[in-house]
A and B are shown apart, each in its own frame.
Chain A
């Protein structure tokens, strides 16, 4: 058993870390303060291989796996969890096309999504709720070979910048009257398809979150991603694996930010004539953050490696649950270590806390994750 990254993964991490340090770190506070979405960085993310890291080379990607995808997200989120949200949602929509799309769809959309010229999105949540996929109200009706889509999605990341959004729609009922869902790709600029309100969030700034409005949107049936009627399974699989892995990776990035900032501050700040790091109470806090980071790291990369080996179960839910709670705890601890400095916006500790809290509901709250973990546990043991 070996918990170490391969030499190539280490090099990849160093490469992404260097990029994040030079291209993200200097601007992250400004993006947060001004609620700015840095679209100009997306082609650079494409060039680095981050946008299509897990996409096979034949479609313009790098051809690596989900471990490497999580490494990329962790490094981006180390400095900007908000920007990482854009990348993660892009991966989420892209994964649906990669896993379930037709060859024609892959040829058409994936190269642009990998090089950063097209951001992807996945739209599930509606005003009525997110995790209750069966209760979705957006409807797509098929006439001939054209879908007509009507409905409204909310809390959609990349709502205002996606070139292609994979939308989960109700497309019928089965023989028992249960709703059948389909996932349909809609390109930006399609008549009747437009972003609605952009949300004013408490954290995770640096990415768009908002509404998507579909008013008699007509798209060809060839835009159906996967088999019609199987949309719920497709959505749940991508949210459950790519989505939760991504959220855990972003939270891991926040955790590392808390850890590194806590250590740096404790070594630098002098109190009672000695650095804070010499005080046992501060050391305890640092130890707690370190343990939370290491445990989260093991849980996430174990789950990602299992996904790459094709045998993941509830591990992503475990990682998502543990890591989101750990990120919130650690950001709070960092603020406590920093005292007044932690509370002022000149330092990023407050941003880490706002971002960590923002991550909790994304791809399922902690309660949803616990239900999934309990469900599998009760069957398995």
Chain B
């Protein structure tokens, strides 16, 4: 059963959803298999998704602020087992423990199936620990999928308050204050724990992994769970549990033709102005 008891407000228990992704700096090396509609990621090193790093940094800062000795930060990822070192990296950044969900039954999941699986794992961790996480943090939008669904959907499965696109976050006495950036204005929200927050990259600058962090990670627990370890309906996980049917996948043809504007600086400036005006900017 899922315990309603929350951790004491003087300190915090935070869970961070971490997503290993193909290195976005190698984006141009990722190819599409047109026949199957899948991405060919072989040879592309995996990294922790940039926004997941921001989420972890935000969690570590909140834990430090509330008293690092009592507060705890755990990380959870659903990924193939080869990405295990990315969770070790999260431990080296400062997380206290890590959980990894890895099973063929989870493969090919869309955000609906992914968030269901993650939510079931959150419940299991909370049951084992006997408390509800004050906060579940995640990146709003991953560099590979970019749907912005998973944090929100996980919150819905868990029945918790959620705010995404958060660029500033603070928690005081159980009250969560978050600032969300929309296209034109900044919106401030206030809500109660427990909450699920999706952060953006401008919330902070993630700390570096240090050599000492790597040494400390040796002693921090990393738990590996398969589908059998979770109370889960495998018809709702992986490819079979995914209602999303992606459309045709193709690599857009990128054509860039160079154009010389004017022979003198004056002509060039006038030409550039014309283009800007034409674009209605």
| Residues of A in contact with B (beta carbons under 8 Å apart) | 7-8, 10-12, 14-16, 18-19, 22, 47-50, 53, 57, 62-64, 68, 72
B209 is an interface residue with CB less than 8 A from chain A? yes
Separation in Å of the A163 CB from the closest CB of chain B?
Answer: 21
Majority-rule SS of B interface residues: helix
Q: Are B215 and A62 in contact (CB under 8 A)?
A: yes
Q: Give the chain B neighbours of A22 by CB distance below 8 A.
A: 208
Q: Are B92 and A62 in contact (CB under 8 A)?
A: no
Partner pick for B211 among A7, A10, A18, A49, CB 8 A cutoff:
A49
Question: In whole angstroms, how far apart are the Cα atoms of A72 and B213 in the complex?
Answer: 15
Question: In whole angstroms, how far apart are the Cα atoms of A49 and B209 in the complex?
Answer: 10
| A11 and B210 contact, Cβ closer than 8 Å, known pairs A62-B215, A63-B215 | no
Q: Are B212 and A49 in contact (CB under 8 A)?
A: yes
Near A by CB (< 8 A), chain B positions 8-43 give: none
Question: In whole angstroms, how far apart are the Cα atoms of A50 and B119 in the complex?
Answer: 40
Q: Give the chain B neighbours of A47 by CB distance below 8 A.
A: 210
Q: Are A11 and B88 in contact (CB under 8 A)?
A: yes
Q: Give the chain B neighbours of A64 by CB distance below 8 A.
A: 211, 215
Q: Are A11 and B208 in contact (CB under 8 A)?
A: no
Near A by CB (< 8 A), chain B positions 81-121 give: 85, 88-89, 92
Q: Give the chain B neighbours of A68 by CB distance below 8 A.
A: 211
Q: Are B85 and A7 in contact (CB under 8 A)?
A: yes
* Tally of B interface residues using CB under 8 Å: 13
Question: In whole angstroms, how far apart are the Cα atoms of A48 and B213 in the complex?
Answer: 9
Beyond A47-B210, A49-B211, 13 additional pairs, beta carbon < 8 A? A11-B85, A12-B214, A15-B208, A15-B209, A15-B211, A15-B214, A19-B208, A22-B208, A48-B211, A49-B210, A53-B211, A64-B215, A68-B211
Separation in Å of the B47 CB from the closest CB of chain A?
Answer: 9
Question: In whole angstroms, how far apart are the Cα atoms of A22 and B25 in the complex?
Answer: 14
A to B CB contacts below 8 Å, 26 in the list = A7-B85, A7-B88, A10-B85, A11-B85, A11-B88, A11-B92, A11-B209, A11-B214, A12-B211, A12-B214, A15-B208, A15-B209, A18-B208, A18-B209, A19-B208, A22-B208, A47-B210, A48-B208, A48-B210, A49-B210, A49-B212, A53-B211, A62-B211, A62-B212, A64-B215, A68-B211
Q: Give the chain B neighbours of A19 by CB distance below 8 A.
A: 208
| Residues of B in contact with A (beta carbons under 8 Å apart) | 85, 88-89, 92, 208-215, 218
Q: Are A8 and B214 in contact (CB under 8 A)?
A: yes
Q: Are B210 and A15 in contact (CB under 8 A)?
A: yes
Separation in Å of the A34 CB from the closest CB of chain B?
Answer: 26
Question: In whole angstroms, how far apart are the Cα atoms of A50 and B92 in the complex?
Answer: 16
Which 7 residue pairs are nearest across A and B when measured between Cβ atoms?
A: A49-B211, A15-B209, A62-B211, A19-B208, A49-B212, A48-B210, A49-B210
| A50 and B211 contact, Cβ closer than 8 Å, known pairs A7-B85, A7-B88, A15-B92 | yes
Q: Give the chain A neighbours of B210 by CB distance below 8 A.
A: 15, 47-49
Separation in Å of the B216 CB from the closest CB of chain A?
Answer: 10
Among residues of B, the one whose C-beta sits closest to the C-beta of A16 is B211
Q: Give the chain A neighbours of B212 by CB distance below 8 A.
A: 49, 62
Q: Give the chain A neighbours of B88 by CB distance below 8 A.
A: 7, 11
Question: In whole angstroms, how far apart are the Cα atoms of A373 and B92 in the complex?
Answer: 41
Q: Give the chain B neighbours of A18 by CB distance below 8 A.
A: 208-209
Question: In whole angstroms, how far apart are the Cα atoms of A63 and B215 in the complex?
Answer: 9
Q: Give the chain A neighbours of B209 by CB distance below 8 A.
A: 11, 14-15, 18
**Most chain B CB within a 10 A radius of its CB, from A14, A19, A50, A68:** A14
Partner pick for B89 among A11, A49, A53, CB 8 A cutoff:
A11
Question: In whole angstroms, how far apart are the Cα atoms of A64 and B212 in the complex?
Answer: 10
Q: Give the chain A neighbours of B213 by CB distance below 8 A.
A: 15
Among residues of B, the one whose C-beta sits closest to the C-beta of A68 is B211
Separation in Å of the B26 CB from the closest CB of chain A?
Answer: 13
Question: In whole angstroms, how far apart are the Cα atoms of A50 and B215 in the complex?
Answer: 13
Q: Give the chain A neighbours of B218 by CB distance below 8 A.
A: 8
Q: Give the chain B neighbours of A14 by CB distance below 8 A.
A: 89, 209
Separation in Å of the A42 CB from the closest CB of chain B?
Answer: 15
Question: In whole angstroms, how far apart are the Cα atoms of A14 and B23 in the complex?
Answer: 12
Separation in Å of the B246 CB from the closest CB of chain A?
Answer: 31
Separation in Å of the A94 CB from the closest CB of chain B?
Answer: 15
**Most chain B CB within a 10 A radius of its CB, from A15, A18, A19, A48:** A15
